[in-house]
A and B are shown apart, each in its own frame.
Chain A
Amino acid sequence: MKIQNRLQHKLTDHFQPAFMEIVNESHQHNVPEGSESHFKIVIATTAFNSLTAVKRHRLIYKLLASELQGSIHALALHTYTPEEWATQHTPPPDSPPCMGGGH
């Protein structure tokens, strides 16, 4: 299974998000075409209610620990509760371009 699909399945099963978008940003980086190394995840779920941003990110990092150990080099996370998502008007920022550093 493609990594992006695996991320989609795992996150959907675990968080039942009200909104989710997974973007493969690998093409912005110095990696071979078709790579699955850099992703951005925008996710809104009630599982984040009353959690700090650090705790929200940790939940995702734990769920995706094996993928992070493997081929994923960068994971940009933008986490919201459904209420925050409904009321926030600024889109999540674009991820930066790579500057060539390794793992």
Chain B
Amino acid sequence: MDIMVKLKELVESNTVVIFMKGTPQFPQCGFSGRTVQALQQCGEEFAYVNIFDEPEVHQNLPAFSDWPTFPQVFVDGELVGGCDITLELFQSGELQTLITEAVAKKAA
């Protein structure tokens, strides 16, 4: 399958997904670690992709999302941002709202 199609499917079939360095248990980058913690604290399930395990994703996601760095968080198929934006949204409570609403919409 074309990688761009695969990426589109990945972000659309998972309500919340983070592309990160390492895993939620063993993040390999401070920015990825902080971002995944914020997601965990929102209390909903989320998917993750360890980009070190998926070289094709690592290489092509920046072009797909028009975003050059990792981590990247997607909610409901849309790029929310990297570490800085995700944490700002978390601190203001907007991340929780965004995720809760997306999960509810998916379940409806």
Contact = CB atoms under 8 A, between A and B. Distances in A.
A99 B85 contact: no
A77 B27 CA distance: 21
Given A96-B31, A99-B28, A101-B28, 16 more contacts: A53-B88, A54-B67, A54-B80, A54-B85, A57-B81, A57-B84, A57-B85, A68-B68, A74-B31, A74-B69, A96-B33, A99-B22, A99-B27, A101-B21, A101-B22, A101-B29
Given A54-B79, A61-B68, A99-B27, A77 B32 contact: no
Q: Which DSSP category, helix, strand, loop or mixed, fits chain A's interface?
A: mixed
B52 interface: yes
A96 B52 contact: no
A58 B66 contact: yes
A64 B28 CA distance: 25
Interface in B16-73: 21-22, 27-34, 52, 66-69
Q: Which DSSP category, helix, strand, loop or mixed, fits chain B's interface?
A: mixed
A77 B67 CA distance: 13
